[in-house]
Amino acid sequence: MFSHPRLVRAADNLVREQFCVSPGESVLLTADSSVERELVDAVVQAVLRQGGKPLVALAPSLPFQGGLSDPYVGDSLAAAVVASDVWLDFCFPYHAGSRIHNAAMEARRCRYGLIAISRADSLARLYGGVEFSTLLDFNIGFMEFVSEHAGETARFTCAAGTDVSFVLDKVKLKRPRSMRAPGMDTVPGAQSLYPTKDSVRGRIVIQALFDETYRRLRKPIVIEADGHITRVHGEAPEDAASFERALRRASGENTLGTFVHFTYGFHPAARLTGDQFVEDIRLPGSNAIGMGLPWWESGGGENHPDGIVLDQSLWIGELQIVDQGRFVGPAPLRALHDAMLRRLD
């Protein structure tokens, strides 16, 4: 059995270019029962090519992410994460925000990757389907642009009926070009836009949802906001109970809660899969709406549900950045965006 060259390139970009694995480093891969063996094998081989020492921890899929997963995680994994130089987490739901993740971050040894991809073809697209350096050029450039515009009003719309505005807060998690120091990083190809507290107003219409599972929705769900979530309606019967449970859990107060983040996805190789959440929120023009208590507040713990808006239009201040999914921002950023060419080899 051999791996496609794109998957080999993807694994090398993840291991060598993003997480800078060096000889002798201990590299932990966490995977659940949904993660394909081909993906794990490709990443293990990439670690070995760098002279690292890989260890794969396989466990049943977690029922919840973040702090809600704590009762389902054993002491053996808790011990492994604090003794690892690099931890690549392919689980979905994932470990970020959990007790063991917090312990790993506090130990100041581990470089943690929230990857949350289970399919080899998805990893191949996100890490091998574009010239990786150009993806980072635009990702970092757009992140800096968003950071410079903190305090301005952002607005996004979509053809399904979304029209919402909020005041941009500072960027909470800044992406480095490469992970050489302890901390946390995510898959490139999307940028979060954080709202200031209680500033979100309008209507959001989501077409996919991650509450207790991730899925495309049979019927769009409408979320009304006036500082906080005031009403949810339009949902199909099979979605109503789980979404309300997730919102009330995430609020920390048994209310419908507020908003953690919005995003802009721009990965040129991403495709709408319906089962790979991390890839779907990197689809060009997508917007992942995180709802609940922010992870930087006590009790947040990455427990929030996420809804997805497709083909958004986005403005920051008076400047239009995205038009129905297509990037139309300032010329310097357009040049970086247009340099992200999809690779098919």
Judged against a pLDDT cut of 60, whether residue 145 lies above it is answered with yes
pLDDT of residue 251: 85
C-alpha dist (Å) from residue 146 to 133, 136, 139, 141, 152: 20, 15, 11, 9, 10
Evaluated on CA atoms 274, 206, 141, 193, the torsion sign reads: negative
Q: Is residue 296 part of a domain?
A: yes
Give the number of domains in the chain. Answer: 2
Q: Are the CB atoms for 292 and 304 separated by under 8 Å? A: yes
CA distance 153 to 90: 35
| CATH value at residue 33 | 3.40.50
Domain final residue pick, 110, 127, 144: 127
Same domain, 21 and 65: yes
Per-residue confidence (pLDDT) for residue 10, from 0 to 100: 99
Per-residue pLDDT, 66: 85
End-to-end CA distance of the chain: 19
Mean pLDDT across the chain:
95
Other CB atoms within a 10 A radius of the CB of residue 273 amount to 17
Shared-domain flag, residues 55 and 199 = no
Query: 96: closest CA among 118, 70, 72, 119?
Result: 70
Structure tokens at 236: 């199909």
Cross-strand partners of 186: 114
Q: What is the mean pLDDT of residues 298-306?
A: 69
Q: At 333, which amino acid appears?
A: L
Q: Is the pLDDT of residue 23 over 80?
A: yes
Are both 191 and 313 inside the same structural domain? yes
- Which residue's entry shows tokens 């490139």? 188
157 and 86 in a common domain: no
Residue 254 above 80 pLDDT? no
Report the range of poorest mean pLDDT among 147-151, 172-176, 292-296: 292-296
Residue 155 has pLDDT above 80, yes or no: yes
Q: What is the mean pLDDT of residues 314-321?
A: 98
**How far apart (Å, rounded) are the C-alpha atoms in residues 280 and 64?**
19
Average pLDDT of the residues in 283-311: 83
User: Over 70: is that where the pLDDT of 297 sits?
Assistant: no
Is residue 326 a part of any domain in this protein?
Answer: yes
Domain annotation covers residue 345: no
Q: Among 96, 127, 158, which residue terminates a domain? A: 127
DSSP for residue 195: B
What pLDDT is attached to residue 253? 78
pLDDT in tens, 267-280: 999 999 999 999 99
The answer to whether residue 46 scores a pLDDT higher than 90 is: yes
Chosen domain end from 99, 127, 155: 127
Distances (CA, A) of 133 to 14, 56, 188: 12, 28, 11
Q: Output the CA–CA distances (angstroms, integers) from residue 159 to 206, 313, 317, in the order listed.
A: 11, 9, 21
